[in-house]
Amino acid sequence: MKENNDMNKFKIPVGPQHPALKEPESFSIALKGEKIMGVDIRLGYNHRGIEKACEGRTYVQCVYLVERVCGICSQAHSTCFVQCVEEIAKVDLPKRAAYIRSIIGELERVHSHLLWLGVAGHEIGFDTLLMYSWRDREVVMDLLALITGNRVHYGMNTIGGVRRDITDSQKKAVLKGIDKLEERTKYYIKLALEESTIIKRLSGVGVLSKEEATKLGAVGPTARASEVDRDIRRDDLRDRKCTRHMCH
């Protein structure tokens, strides 16, 4: 901890490697008492030059590179890329392939939310929630491995379709697993709304107003938690138009 000229101001360095951060990133946080006065940010430690790497490769090769932008939301990245190429090339997607893309996307969403729920629990010192939610997350990771062969980087999307079908036995396993996770998720929602230590720890902390969320470009659950009525699966019905009911 470095002391500034002003005795009341402190600079706290966080990162680039820190057990609570999921990627290397560096923040130098200026504090006055408990108030954050400013943050100096250094990012980019993991920049891998994927755009440049894509320049010299074919569209099909790029699907796999783009998928590796992130290990948590890989389906989102490859879906975005193949949708873009399909739109340029005016390629139609078979209806079954659209369903399969959506199913993988939704399973990925379930695993992602359970992952971050656990991390959120860990960050507030509620490690039981981390253990529970990551245990439950294994159910959906197993389902993704069952369908695609991989826990992450599913390799399902390709230009104009998907690379694997979903069999009847896989479908039964997915429905059974998701029933279990639905029940667990309802329990976590109840916990978040009723557990007094969570309420005491989080009430009034880090509130992001609707205006701030809009101005800062927040998306997904972060935006919706700030009452921004936005859901790409509902608003932008493209591949997922046949699966609108899945969103609600």
Partner 1 sequence: MSGEEKIKQELIRVLSLSEDKIVIPRERRIFVEVEFGNFSKAFDLCVNTLHFDSLCSLTGLDEGEKLAVMYHLAAADGTILNLRTSVMKSDPRIKSVTGIFSSADVYERELIDLLGFKVEGLAPGNRYPLTDDWPIDEHPLRKDWKMKPRAGK
Q: Which two tokens stand for residue 242?
A: 């046949």
Q: Which two tokens stand for residue 135?
A: 């245990």
User: Tell me, what DSSP letter sits at residue 12?
Assistant: E
- 216 binding partner 1? (CB under 8 A): yes
Q: How far is the CB of 113 from partner 1 (least distance, A)?
A: 20
Q: How far is the CB of 41 from partner 1 (least distance, A)?
A: 7
- Contact indicator for 13, 25 with CB cutoff of 8 Å: no
- For residue 31, the cross-strand partners are 10, 36
- 92 binding partner 1? (CB under 8 A): no
- 194 binding partner 1? (CB under 8 A): no
Q: How far is the CB of 46 from partner 1 (least distance, A)?
A: 9
Query: DSSP assignment of 68-106, as one string?
Result: TT-SSSHHHHHHHHHHHHHHHHTPPPPHHHHHHHHHHHH
Q: How far is the CB of 235 from partner 1 (least distance, A)?
A: 4
Phi and psi angles of residue 158, each rounded to the nearest 5 degrees, phi first? -145, 170
Comparing CB distances to partner 1, the nearer of 62 and 141 is 62
| Residues numbered 48-87 forming contacts with partner 1, rule: CB under 8 A | 49, 51-52, 87
- 248 binding partner 1? (CB under 8 A): no
Interacting residue ranges for partner 1, rule: CB under 8 A: 40-44, 47, 49, 51-52, 87, 214-217, 228-230, 232, 235-236
